[in-house]
Chains A and B, each alone.
Chain A
């Protein structure tokens, strides 16, 4: 499955580091999403982009900064994270906002 790819697959970072997560979709979709998946909690929507415009910020702390340079690429810039930010970060895309979403494999993030 190469529809939605995410890099890196695993990331360990200290609380003072700056890192970025990358998502790329090859499905010709126009909407992209970032989700956070923590143990024993439902998937949490973080950000939504529709035609490169951010349409949703679900009260996400500013230490997470999304960027969508075009409809195929989505980044999540990370800065001064906390240990409780350790989780699986999932990217998804859909043809347009509201349609069925297709997920990438995720980036497993560990903040020390």
Chain B
């Protein structure tokens, strides 16, 4: 069973600060997704990365896929209260497990005004 380790599990910061969330595994993945989930709602897709070393930007969010496709990071610049939520990474192992997403346990981010 592939495991995805997310860190930190909790993050409480002030508006305007920068932060980075990490998603690590010992397994190689064919693709990795980042989702954001608000209380009482389903996860909303932020980005999919597929190429080792790939960097994608979504406004103040920067996503990076490790060169070996085993890890990823999400960096938020100048966080705002609207960024508050649960951030989940999910990976597709490929091969015989193709189609099955493995999820990390999530990072709960709170941005205080």
- Asked if B33 is at the interface of the complex by the 8 Å CB criterion, the answer is yes
Please indicate the chain A residues that have their CB under 8 angstroms from the CB of B105 in the complex: 40-42
Chain A interface size, as a band, is: 20 to 34
| Docked CA distance A90–B103 (Å) | 13
Which listed residue, B4, B41, B106, touches A106 by the CB 8 Å rule?
A: B41
- Asked if B85 is at the interface of the complex by the 8 Å CB criterion, the answer is no
- Is B42 touching A45 in the complex (CB atoms < 8 A)? no
- Is B33 touching A100 in the complex (CB atoms < 8 A)? yes
- Is A4 touching B42 in the complex (CB atoms < 8 A)? yes
- Is A105 touching B42 in the complex (CB atoms < 8 A)? yes
- Asked if A101 is at the interface of the complex by the 8 Å CB criterion, the answer is yes
Which listed residue, B45, B88, B100, B103, touches A48 by the CB 8 Å rule?
A: B100
- Asked if B66 is at the interface of the complex by the 8 Å CB criterion, the answer is no
- Is A103 touching B40 in the complex (CB atoms < 8 A)? no
| Docked CA distance A41–B84 (Å) | 19
Closest Cβ of chain B to A101, distance in Å, is 6
Query: Closest residue of chain A to B88, judged by CB?
Result: A43
- Is B48 touching A100 in the complex (CB atoms < 8 A)? yes
- Is B42 touching A103 in the complex (CB atoms < 8 A)? yes
Please indicate the chain B residues that have their CB under 8 angstroms from the CB of A108 in the complex: 40
Show the binding face of A for B, using Cβ within 8 Å.
Answer: 1, 4, 6, 31, 40-43, 45, 48, 50, 55-56, 90-92, 97-98, 100-106, 108
The 20 sampled A-B contact pairs (Cβ below 8 Å) are: A31-B99, A40-B105, A42-B102, A42-B104, A42-B105, A42-B106, A43-B103, A45-B100, A45-B101, A50-B99, A56-B100, A90-B42, A90-B43, A98-B98, A100-B33, A100-B48, A101-B45, A105-B40, A106-B40, A106-B41
- What 5 A-B pairs have minimum CB-CB distances, sorted nearest first? A103-B42, A97-B99, A98-B99, A43-B103, A42-B103
